[in-house]
Amino acid sequence: MFQDITKRLSRNVRFNKIGRLVRRGIIPEGVEQAEIYEAIRHTHPAGVLELLGFLRVKVFRKRGYIWHCDDYGLVSCKKVTTAFANYLVASLITTNTAFANFRFHDMGDNSAAESNAGTALNNSRETRVAGNQQNNGAGVYQSIATITATAGYTVQEQGLFNVATGGTMMDRNLVPNAPVVINLDTVQFIYELSVSAEA
């Protein structure tokens, strides 16, 4: 029995640390995304609807006849925009808005700091691509898109929008250890929005 109490206490301490880091926009090192989701649910503040965005990145490069995959893993968390929050509220009082439209991924090469006040990428480099959408577990929205580079540059930012041009940006993410791409390299973005109901 004492071991069970110690194990639960240790788990609670770990979950609290993970939850604090993620809510500050810091990716905990060596922690799988499933454990991050569990920690968020476990440490969810009472009386709060919480929206947290997560981005994973993979880059596929063809060199000669062989394709290589560089998996950058989880690169960003937390950065849902004020514009999306306002869109969410407006959608509750109008009948002509569609949440299913938030599937258009874009990438760019500007490293300016993330901000919840952002409304667009700072320097978009490609045409937006519609992602495949699915529910990735209870309360987790997922959109996956692959964008092909048309030139060489460093992919430093990603955004998720509700239309192919202009529109409302749900989230802008910086890509640390940003990959350098050349023409025809492809970048796969796996965006997830965790929505936790009031605890």
159 in the same domain as 129: yes
54 in the same domain as 37: no
Assessment of whether the complete model's pTM goes beyond 0.75:
yes
- Please tell me the total count of domains within the chain: 2
What is the predicted pLDDT for the residue at 97?
Answer: 67
83 in the same domain as 39: no
Q: Which residue has the tokens 């992919």?
A: 155
132 in the same domain as 58: yes
96 in the same domain as 38: no
175 in the same domain as 151: yes
**Whole-angstrom distance, CA of residue 34 vs CA of residue 49:** 20
57 in the same domain as 26: no
Provide the residue range defining the domain that includes 70. 50-196
Q: What are phi and psi of 139, to 5 degrees?
A: 75, 20
Q: Tell me the per-residue pLDDT of 5-31, one tens digit each, with 9 for 90 and over.
A: 677 778 899 999 999 999 999 999 999
106 in the same domain as 65: yes
The structure tokens listed for 3 are: 């071991």
Q: What percent of the chain has pLDDT over 90?
A: 63
Q: Which residue has the tokens 């796996």?
A: 190
100 in the same domain as 30: no
Q: Tell me the per-residue pLDDT of 24-68, one tens digit each, with 9 for 90 and over.
A: 999 999 999 889 999 998 898 888 888 899 999 999 998 888 989
77 in the same domain as 143: yes
Among 12, 27, 43, give the residue marking a domain's end.
Answer: 43
184 in the same domain as 108: yes
5 in the same domain as 63: no
- Which residues make Cβ contacts (< 8 Å) with residue 60, sequence separation at least 6? 67, 68, 69, 70, 146, 185, 186, 187, 188
**Whole-angstrom distance, CA of residue 83 vs CA of residue 116:** 8
3-state secondary structure of 31: coil
